[in-house]
Amino acid sequence: MKKKVLLIHTGGTISMHMSEDGGVIPDTNNPLMQESKKLEMIADLIEIEAFNLPSPHITPKKMLELRNLIIDTLKKNTVDGVVITHGTDTLEETAYFLELTTNLEMPIVLTGAMRSSNELGADGVYNLVEAVRVASSDQARNKGVLVVMNDELHSAVNVTKTSTSSVSTFQSPQYGPLGLVTKTLIHFQQAPMKREYVEVNSLDKKVALFKIYAGMDADLLHSAIDCQYDGVVLEGLGQGNVPPAILPAIEKLIQHGIPVVLVSRCFNGIAQGVYGYEGGGKMLEDMGVIFATGLSGQKARLKLMIGLNQEVKPINVKKFFI
């Protein structure tokens, strides 16, 4: 029996076209809406155009709207899986947001394109067909939120955009893809280790993300206090170190009760308290900086924001990041 898939469009290059002057722009008539025939050979569809936005215009509030749209639609309809088309620039953030804020057994699959609908070698419809195949497959159940692009399956936790323009832009640097999509198979070679779920209904708490660099001064970090941020994520150096000049600012943030979470700006490996010199990870740990294991800066920022906005009870930030 044919499966039923909820297909939600949010915009991005997959829904855009190249105009005569060579600029890639959003289309008022989403070209994907004309592709239903190809998709209905795979699954019955419920198709919704939620937004038509370039993904740099997507905010966490929009991600929450999207999450609520999925949950509300599933209350009224029986479906086997969900596919979301999305711009690639922030696709990994929406995918990770949904990973943390949904707890469904059915697959939620995000896909996009690097070439717009009327460009030579357009990859959008191909990726969409694969995403619908994955969303309607039994193998994809209980695997968390997935990203399907360019014949690969990635987990929302590890996937990141690695190239500005290549169709193989999405990679999972630490652990590799979860699997492959071939013409005939959906093949998982590994499964996510754990799944987390956090109940959020609003996003009032603000979290800032700072990339640490050689010679950084403390002034930028002070702005997080002045602008009343509720949490700060630092993308630190190497195994999790910072220049000594920003230590007083980190101390001040912690004194103000603003949690400071540290990840590495390296995209492989884990930030940890190894170095005992001034600004080294060991010293940061002793000061109360919390190390996030293996997440990128943008994902740790979303996780802290979601945690601080949790509905039921305040989180213990340290435990939340273990």
Q: Looking up tokens 């990973």, which residue turns up?
A: 99
Binding footprint of ligand ASN, residue count (CB under 6 A): 9
CB of 214 to ligand ASN, least distance (A): 30
Is the CB of 98 or the CB of 304 nearer to ligand ASN? 98
Q: Which of 81, 112, 124, 177 binds ligand ASN (CB under 6 A)?
A: 112
Q: Which of 5, 6, 51, 54 binds ligand ASN (CB under 6 A)?
A: 54
Please check if 165 is assigned to a binding site. no
Report the largest interatomic distance among the alpha carbons of the chain, rounded to a whole angstrom: 64
How far apart, in whole angstroms, are the C-alpha atoms of residue 259 and residue 290? 8
Q: Is residue 124 a contact point for ligand ASN (CB under 6 A)? A: no
DSSP character for 128? H
* Catalytic residue list contains 111: no
Q: Is residue 150 a contact point for ligand ASN (CB under 6 A)? A: no
How far apart, in whole angstroms, are the C-alpha atoms of residue 14 and residue 149? 12
* Catalytic residue list contains 13: yes
Please check if 204 is assigned to a binding site. no
Q: Looking up tokens 């109940």, which residue turns up?
A: 199
How far apart, in whole angstroms, are the C-alpha atoms of residue 56 and residue 35? 25
Cα distances from 98 to residues 109, 119, 195, 198, 282, in angstroms, run 10, 30, 11, 10, 33
How far apart, in whole angstroms, are the C-alpha atoms of residue 232 and residue 308? 11
Sign of the four-CA dihedral 209, 96, 8, 74: negative
Q: Is residue 27 a contact point for ligand ASN (CB under 6 A)? A: no
Q: Which of 6, 8, 9, 12 binds ligand ASN (CB under 6 A)?
A: 12
CB of 50 to ligand ASN, least distance (A): 14
Please check if 19 is assigned to a binding site. no
How far apart, in whole angstroms, are the C-alpha atoms of residue 261 and residue 264? 10
Span interacting with ligand ASN, options 32-40, 83-91, 96-104, 276-284, rule CB under 6 A: 83-91
Sign of the four-CA dihedral 269, 271, 274, 279: positive
DSSP character for 237? B
CB of 216 to ligand ASN, least distance (A): 29
CB of 89 to ligand ASN, least distance (A): 3
Residue of 10, 88, 90, 102 marked catalytic: 88
Q: Which of 27, 44, 49, 89 binds ligand ASN (CB under 6 A)?
A: 89
Other CB atoms within 10 A of residue 229 CB: 16
For residue 58 the two structure tokens come to 């997507």
Is the CB of 164 or the CB of 184 nearer to ligand ASN? 164
Is the CB of 12 or the CB of 107 nearer to ligand ASN? 12
Yes or no: say if 260 and 250 are a contact pair by the CB < 8 Å rule: yes
CB of 112 to ligand ASN, least distance (A): 5
Span interacting with ligand ASN, options 85-93, 103-111, 206-214, 269-277, rule CB under 6 A: 85-93
CB of 47 to ligand ASN, least distance (A): 19
Cα distances from 300 to residues 32, 85, 228, 320, in angstroms, run 32, 23, 19, 11
Minimal CB distance residue for ligand ASN: 87
Residue of 13, 90, 111, 160 marked catalytic: 13
Span interacting with ligand ASN, options 81-89, 232-240, 282-290, 292-300, rule CB under 6 A: 81-89
How far apart, in whole angstroms, are the C-alpha atoms of residue 16 and residue 115? 9
Please name the helix (run of DSSP H) or strand (run of DSSP E) that holds residue 83, with its range, or none: strand 81-85
Q: Give catalytic residues, as residue numbers.
A: 13, 88
Give me the residues that bind ligand ASN (CB under 6 A), please: 12-13, 54-55, 87-89, 112, 114
